[in-house]
Amino acid sequence: MTSLKPRIHPILRQLLTFVLILVKFLVLVVPVLVFMVWFSYKVDISGLFQGELAPREVANMLLNGDTVSNYDQMDERQVLKLYVQNLSEEQVPETLALGSSRVLQLTKEIVGTDSYYNAGLSGAGVMDIMNAFYLFDQADKLPKNLIIEVDPWIFNGTSADDLNRNADHDLFAEFLKNGLHIDSDYTAPDTTARWKALFDPAYFQGNVKYYLKQKNSNTSTNKDGSEIPFHAVTGDFETLDYAIKRPDGSIYYPVEFRTWSYEQVMAETLVQAGTLSAMHGFDEMDPYWTNLFEQFISYVQSKGIRVVFLLTPYHPFIIKHVYNNPQGFAGFFQVEPWLREYAAQHNIPLYGSYHASRVGVQEWLFFDGIHCKGEALRLIFPGITAALQNEQTAYQIDYYNTYNDKYPNLVSEALVGSTADCLVVDEDWFNQASFATGTGIPYSDQIEIPSAS
Amino acid sequence: MDFNSLIFLGFFAAVAVLTYCVPKRIKPYFLLAASYLFYLYKPENARLIWVLICATLLSWAGGILLGSSRIHNLWLRRGILLGNILFCGFCLFQYKYYDFFTTLWSDLVKGFGGEFHPKSLNIIAPLGLSYFLFQSMGYLFDVYRHKQKPILNLAYYALFVSFFPCIFTGPIERAHHLVPQFFHPQPFQYQRMSGGAFRMLWGYFKKMVLADGIGAFVGTIYANPEKAAGPYLLAASLLFSYQLYLDFSGCCDIAIGGARILGFELTENFQRPFAACNYGELWRRWHISLSSWFRDYLYIPLGGNRCSVLRNSINTIVTFLVSGLWHGASWGYIIWGTLNGVILVIGKQTHSIRHHLEPRNPLYHSLIVKHTIKRICVYLLFTACIVFFAADLYGGNAFTVYSGLFQGWNLSASQLLQGFADNGLPTAILYVLVIGCTCVELVEWRGPVALWIRRQPAVVRWIIYYLLILAILFFASFGKSAFIYQNY
């Protein structure tokens, strides 16, 4: 009796068997492996891919449009990194603000667009500013417009190390090499270990435990089980006793700080005038950092991004103090004229001034010696659309109209910046000016203006 | 290279594929190369490779001489055997027992008022030392007793000594069982391969999910027994017996399954030992390859049971004492071994009385109850001895465990559960362990797991595959725990 089975060559049969085993093995293992990798990637308890848990939580809340509590406990640099990482194409802001904490009061209302993010970082030096930009650049999520709040200290070579101590030096080195094409000590990090973690069952188990723990409790926790102190804030922000970060990246300070009395502000200003961090030894604008700044601006413009400079004012007392004690601050006085010249040469609109008097920002518009209030920014910045057309602020127009004839010398002096005295602006005029400049609500209705006495 | 590492799985997969690609005659040579590669993977093993090579060469040459028809002189034959045994004994003494015995001697001298300060060697023993030396010694004994023809092909013999699935943790193979398989390698068989693969998966599940799951708790308790309350000490002791079984039998499952994939059958090392109804039976089911080695090459040569009661008792105790010493050079292992021997002797001596009294025990009227009671008694006896083993393994003190057993029983149920969780056994894991251990017992009760799985419908089979893989993925301890018997 002959076999009905078709005859297959032994080698072919072996090959088929091998293929069959391989297929079965793959069917058995691949789904499990894919699940493991996907789960580990999504939960990522060690933050190898999604970033550390707490900053990730903040970034995701901001991206969800939530206002987040406890700003002062945030690792802002990490938050920004993860914010950019998780930013969807639709959420890429048209206008981005860079700078230090001195720009963090610049809200989307002041800028005049919803497609805006304030990427200001407390204590930012030039490295932080460039890094922040590079994060968006690297992720191919560049804005159309860039507001750069330029602090004078970024040109102070003496305190550069101190200023940049919190910055991500590796990222900066990467930007120098890949962005500005300047030699740096950057070497691409070895990501093998990171990727290996995805295939590590022990890492998967850690993620499962963390995930289940999160699911079973109402509070978010860190890897070590400590509670993540950030949560979405709703309702009335006015009475909050902690600082919050709004979805546009700007900061709203706690009620205690916002409602400091004149004496408290002055006391703090006095302290700040005494220390003037990052400004000491500022004998001249450092050629290296100045050059780097220029290269950075050229790089940004080469990407087709329209740049606007914003100089946020110092408290008049600080300026007065620096004028009266100019030793070691020569560089500070060089910055603004140089910036104005540079901006003019490169067709970059520039708004504001370090000299509060030049832009009519009075003492009561300061939180402390170096941070002015949002109302002050509204006075000195006309919104992004107007700024890109190099329009004057409504305040400027009104100011000239009102005072040019009456006090030509004072106006002239103020504009060239040879005095630190604050302009005396009468209250009625100020309200009219602010009405024309801002949202249509006179400032005096929002904030109690201290009496001149 | 540990069995429970990804690198081993990759290595094994490559060897398994290639072993069927090379011609049959080349296969043993290829496997020998793979075995040495496996052994050399860890640098600490590579440094001591000479021990393996010397043991292989000497016992191979010794085997040829012992098997030679030209050497008839009994004393010469004995000399050759003794020379080899002395070499193996020297290696074992040097790497495993030197520090223990010199310390012992030093204490003894001190006890008599003398002074002796031996220099501690504190050296790491080559991995699998006891296994490959016992394997080669067993071969020599067999050749000496004309039970085994000498193996002339050095490569085949070297493969027998160093065959990688069983070099680290056994089973301790006999030449007459394994070597003929090298001469006649099996062709590829899908069913054997899939059975072997399942056996490996089963072994990983037993080791990495169940044994390591229990081990987390036992290790915590035994590391500091003075801090643990009685209930935890009792639970840890009871669990350790089963942990040890799961750990070692899981390892053997991996070794046997792996060898089966490669086309070789290894000796079964366990036959559900805790299903034994008496202590002797337990030892016939536990670590069979070692027990039978001691039986054949120590117990029987000592006189076995064909001698007086006293001599037989001594033979039993000596055999178990040596078995204890085989596990490690410490008082814990010695006491453990001796206790087992004593229990066996008592069991043997009281057998007829117990057998006579059995019908009068009302509980024994039901066969299930009778067997259950006997199994519980056997398990408790085994556990009572294993405390010394566990204490040595985890660095605790067995007497502290015993004295602590009666303290701290005033805990509430919730406190008790919390204590388990705090000591590495949370409720969720406890459920997994209970379900897992029950499944293991039920499946193994039905016979060889490879056969059992083949009897299942394809859908059930695949569900079981996935369940085992997912259980390993979710609950196994990765990269933390080596096999317990790997240390010996």
Question: What confidence tens digit (pLDDT) does each residue in B418-466 have?
Answer: 988 898 888 888 999 999 999 999 999 988 999 999 999 999 999 999 9
Q: Which residues of A touch B17 (CB under 8 A)?
A: 18
Residues B29 and B101 in one domain: yes
The pair of structure tokens assigned to B299 is 């117990």
A14 CA to chain B: closest CA distance, Å?
A: 9
In a domain, B292, yes or no: yes
Residues B150 and B299 in one domain: no
For the question of whether the overall pTM of this predicted structure is more than 0.80, the answer is no
B478 CA to chain A: closest CA distance, Å?
A: 6
In a domain, B385, yes or no: yes
In a domain, A37, yes or no: no
Q: What is the pLDDT of residues B308-320, one digit of tens each?
A: 889 999 999 999 9
Q: What is the pLDDT of residues B367-421, one digit of tens each?
A: 899 999 999 999 999 999 999 989 888 888 889 999 999 888 888 888 888 988 8
In a domain, B209, yes or no: yes
In a domain, B27, yes or no: yes
Best mutation target among B478, B480, B481 (most A Cβ atoms within 10 Å) is: B478
Residues B259 and B380 in one domain: yes
In a domain, A360, yes or no: yes
Mean pLDDT score, A159-169: 85
Residues B223 and B108 in one domain: no
Contact B472, B209 (CB under 8 A): yes
In a domain, B286, yes or no: yes
Per-residue exposure over A52-61, b if at least 16 CB sit within 10 Å of its own CB, e if not: bbbbbbbbbb
Among residues B327, B351, B356, B371, which one is catalytic?
Answer: B327
Local confidence band at B276 (pLDDT 50, 70, 90 cut-offs): very high
- What's the rounded Cα separation, in Å, for the pair A58 and A69? 9
B476 touches chain A (CB under 8 A): yes
In a domain, B114, yes or no: yes
Residues B167 and B203 in one domain: no
B24 touches chain A (CB under 8 A): no
- What's the rounded Cα separation, in Å, for the pair B346 and B333? 20
In a domain, A304, yes or no: yes
Residues B132 and B272 in one domain: no
* Residues spanned by the domain of A420: 53-446
In a domain, B81, yes or no: yes
A32 touches chain B (CB under 8 A): yes
A200 touches chain B (CB under 8 A): yes
Mean pLDDT score, B465-482: 85
User: B358: which residues sit within 8 A by CB, 6+ positions away?
Assistant: B364, B370
A52 CA to chain B: closest CA distance, Å?
A: 23
* Residues spanned by the domain of B418: 192-487
Per-residue exposure over A199-210, b if at least 16 CB sit within 10 Å of its own CB, e if not: ebbebbbbbbeb
Q: Which amino acid is it at A161? A: D
Phi, psi of A308 (to 5 degrees): -130, 135
Helix intervals (H) in A325-426: 330-345, 374-380, 384-388, 394-403, 408-416
Q: Which residue of A has its CA nearest to B193?
A: A21
Comparing A37-41, A43-47, A367-371, B188-192, the range with the smallest average pLDDT is A43-47
Residues B240 and B172 in one domain: no
Q: Which residues of B touch A201 (CB under 8 A)?
A: 472-473, 476, 478
Angle at B37 between CA B35 and CA B41, to 5 degrees: 120
Comparing A302-311, A351-360, B135-144, the range with the smallest average pLDDT is A351-360
- The domain tally of chain A equals 1
Residues B217 and B100 in one domain: no
Contact B394, B218 (CB under 8 A): yes
Mean pLDDT score, B34-43: 90
In a domain, A270, yes or no: yes
Last residue of a domain, one of B185, B210, B239: B185
Strands A251-252 and A145-149: unpaired
Closest CA to B208 of B417, B402, B477, B24: B477
Neighbours of B23 (CB within 10 A): 8
Q: Cα separations (Å) of B364 from A161, B274, B359, B368, B372?
A: 86, 19, 7, 8, 10
Local confidence band at B484 (pLDDT 50, 70, 90 cut-offs): low
B161 or A275: which leads in pLDDT? B161
A26 touches chain B (CB under 8 A): no
Residue appearing with tokens 């310390």? B103
A327 secondary structure, DSSP code: T
Last residue of a domain, one of B138, B159, B185: B185
In a domain, A1, yes or no: no
Residues B377 and B464 in one domain: yes
Local confidence band at A408 (pLDDT 50, 70, 90 cut-offs): low
Q: Identify the three-state secondary structure at position A449.
A: coil
In a domain, A15, yes or no: no
ipTM of the complex in this document = 0.79
- What's the rounded Cα separation, in Å, for the pair B394 and B219? 6
- What's the rounded Cα separation, in Å, for the pair B200 and B4? 11
**Is the alpha carbon torsion for B277, B279, B280, B284 positive or negative?**
positive
In a domain, A94, yes or no: yes
- What's the rounded Cα separation, in Å, for the pair A403 and A425? 10
Residues B223 and B170 in one domain: no
Last residue of a domain, one of B155, B185, B215: B185
Phi, psi of A116 (to 5 degrees): -150, 145
In a domain, B1, yes or no: no
Say whether B327 is catalytic: yes
In a domain, A30, yes or no: no
Q: Which amino acid is it at B459? A: V
Residues B66 and B209 in one domain: no
Local confidence band at B157 (pLDDT 50, 70, 90 cut-offs): very high
- The domain tally of chain B equals 2
Residues B155 and B220 in one domain: no
